[in-house]
Structure 1
């Protein structure tokens, strides 16, 4: 029998693609993946023996150990008790003499070798000092003085439980709304954090060049996050190729911008600490790595949206040409650029609000404020991210339009006529 069934099931699957375009994109992604693996092997940090920076040492030069505690009572009274910071079981020793007043908090120690005992915290009220209340959970620094006596001091508030609740609610909401795709996205976040902690930070600490290390780490994150959250298909592959290209562009732009503006990063206290205590790490390199990694989230958001738009347009209109798919998806992309640029700039401005507040009362001119190192870093970061974001839209849309449209669709918008079947000699059974 001669049957010519041409039914194509497209249930939740993108339109077929031309084999040449698909092979080119997949080949590029495989080649980039191999290069990323080779880069990770070459830049993988070795065994490190880094001295603990002075601000993070105990008085004996060791690692700071913290224990859990709960404030059971508090009052305002004279400082100078011999029980301050010491371990006791009953009530603290009264202060000797009439000294200045301070906030006195009796804390039950709940972990470590002295669990079940108490200590006394004496804190002079003032700006920057913690406001501890009865019933609050705190973290205490435990260290031993030269005489061998254990001493406790306030370290920070205990945030383990509230943070766990907030993160748990976030994960539940994402999984309920996005279902398995949301769950896979959360797994991708864990992988991304692991890449930063296990590879990027140790590599920078080991003296690896910032741009290659950040590009390798960013590429690993993108491969894992995109394919986990959106599946292994050509739609995701087009977004991945666009994001990887845009990330490389962001790296070049970041390097040029930092060199042109002579940004140092030393206006930020943590960068100053790094320069003072970890001399083998380049502050400029840290800035570059931060620019590159910081651009991934917004680039990923835009590129996956553009790829999905192009594939949906192609699936909805079988007669649409690649040109019309590109044009239609770009209309979506322009709106996305406008909204995301606002998001990008306002996010950085929100993070710099305390700094801007200080500058506003310092009486400095607006030019000095904007061109100062601290604000200029955020301006350059926003500009570089905005340029990479804007260029990623047409790039990803073009790749997606190429993959989303079958090669047999004519540029007039109508399917190309199929070739007639070759005539066979002999009889045909019908």
Structure 2
């Protein structure tokens, strides 16, 4: 039995529904088979380049450049107060994380403060998010949270381990994104024909995004090793396809915006078909106007999201003395421009693709037999 939580389930054309099922069912089966083939199994996710043991502790006193901290077993040790750019600022009573490296520095201390403990505040933050979503979304909010949990499970249990195992990052990202798309959209919006349209539109747009990303990554001669994090990962994980990792990030990043647009377009077409006597062409034009307004805001959101994540990089470039042309064409900035540009094109393509599919699926009132107009009353006819 189909059910709907967010996307209206209006009347659908039976023939087009069968065609849609003939496309999506094999796609879902192929996704499951690909996940089974690429499944990484159990791999050791160690801390590369970090041989020390991490220990939780609490700061009990600070005197000048040293601090006294109490370990979990009740013992106390003396550590140096962190200093320098990016060093954690500590105060008495703070819960901190220590790195235990005995004998690493001759004459140095065995413990070093490396970070603050954040588990408690993060748990309360997540609880606040869950309560806010449930209070406003109710049943739809619950299904959305379940879909979010599935998304995190696919990323943490499949995508990341498979890439670390040495599988092709782009292939893993496409398969993982497809699994997330099927599970999250059906869980959140119900199993109905209009959600299936949104999934088909998202899948087609992801293909466009992936192909454009692969083409322009090659055309721009990007290596995927631009920032310090990527360089460290390339050095510590031998054989990792860094260019494929760049493409994988583009595909997964685009998915979060694409499903929003495609679901909106499918719902818009369903509402227009259910409330009004319009032809398919009229519905397509009306829904496209809604889509253009949505894309205009979503593109801005996408670019600002990338800019916000890269704000330290932008500040660093703004304070440099290199010419603007050299800065923009350098691999570090070119990679971010590629993410924004390819994601934007995929987002724009999703509107006509999803709208066209949704229009083909709905059964418009104008397509059925029209009733003849009521006869005029003799009292109102002209003589």
Task: Give me the TM-score of the superposition, normalised by structure 2.
Answer: 0.89
Superposed CA deviations along residues 32-68 of structure 1, whole A, max 9, x for unmatched, are 0111112112222255468752x2223xxxxxx3222
Higher RCO (CA-CA < 8 Å; seq separation 6+): 2
Deviates more, 1:215-224 or 1:189-198: 189-198
Q: Do 2:81 and 2:90's aligned partners in 1 also have CA atoms closer than 8 Å?
A: no
Q: Return the offset for 1:370.
A: 1.0
Structure-1 separation of matches of 2:21 and 2:271: 20
Give CA-to-partner distance per residue, 1:191-235, whole Å, 9 cap, x none: 111111111112112221222211110000001110111111111
The 3 A distance-change label for structure 1 pair 235 and 51 is closer
Match of 1:137 in 2: 95
2:51 maps to 57
Trace 1:313-392 onto structure 2 (pairs within 5 A): 313-317=272-276, 319-392=277-350
- Aligned twin of 2:4: none
Residue matched to 1:259:
218
Aligned with 1:264: secondary structure? Answer: coil
Which of 48, 62, 69 matches 1:107? 69
1:70 paired to 2:58:
yes
- The Cα shift of 1:126 comes to 2.8
Please name the residue that 1:45 is paired with: 40
Distance 1:364 1:345 in 2: 24
Contact 1:138/1:157 (<8 A) preserved: yes
The structure richer in helix per residue is: 2
SS at match of 2:70: strand
Tell me if structure 2 keeps the 8 A contact 1:141–1:153: yes
Alpha-carbon distance between aligned partners in 2 of 1:358 and 1:141, rounded to the nearest angstrom: 30
Identify the residue that residue 83 of structure 2 maps to in structure 1.
125
Q: TM-score, normalized by length of structure 1?
A: 0.80
Q: What are the superposed Cα offsets for residues 79-103 of structure 1, whole Å, 9 maximum, x if unpaired?
A: xxxxxxxxxxxxxxxxxxxxxxxx2
RMSD: 2.0
Q: Which runs of 5+ in 1 are unaligned?
A: 1-11, 59-64, 77-102, 419-430
Change (3 A) 1:144 1:255: same
1:138 is paired with a residue whose SS is: strand
Please state whether the residue corresponding to 1:29 is helix, strand or coil.
helix
CA–CA distance in structure 1, aligned partners of residues 182 and 44 of structure 2? 31
Aligned length: 362
Greater Cα radius of gyration, structure 1 or 2: 1
| Pair 50,167 (structure 1): closer, same or farther in 2 beyond 3 Å | closer
CA distance in 1, matches of 2:11, 2:50: 58
Unaligned 5+ runs, structure 2: 1-6, 372-383
Which residue of structure 2 aligns with residue 27 of structure 1?
A: 22
User: Which range moved further: 362-371 or 205-214?
Assistant: 205-214
